[in-house]
Amino acid sequence: MINIFYHKDMDESRLRRNLKDAGCAKKMIEEYCALPDKKSQQLFLRKHRACLLDILHADQYKIDCLDHLLYLLDKETKEDEGCLG
Domain annotation covers residue 61: yes
Residue 1 maps to a domain: no
In a domain? residue 20: yes
Residue span of the structural domain in which 33 resides: 12-84
Give domain status of residue 71, yes or no.
Answer: yes
Number of domains in the chain: 1
Q: 57 lies in a domain?
A: yes
Task: From residue 82, give the alpha-carbon distance in Å to each of 21, 71, 72, 76, 77.
Answer: 50, 16, 15, 10, 9
The verdict on residue 3 lying in a domain is no
Q: Enter the pTM of the model.
A: 0.75
Summarize pLDDT for 28-61 with one digit per residue, the tens.
999 999 999 999 999 999 999 999 999 999 999 9
Whether 7 maps to a domain, the answer reads: no
Taking the alpha carbons at both ends of the chain, their separation in whole angstroms is 76
1 pLDDT exceeds 60?
no
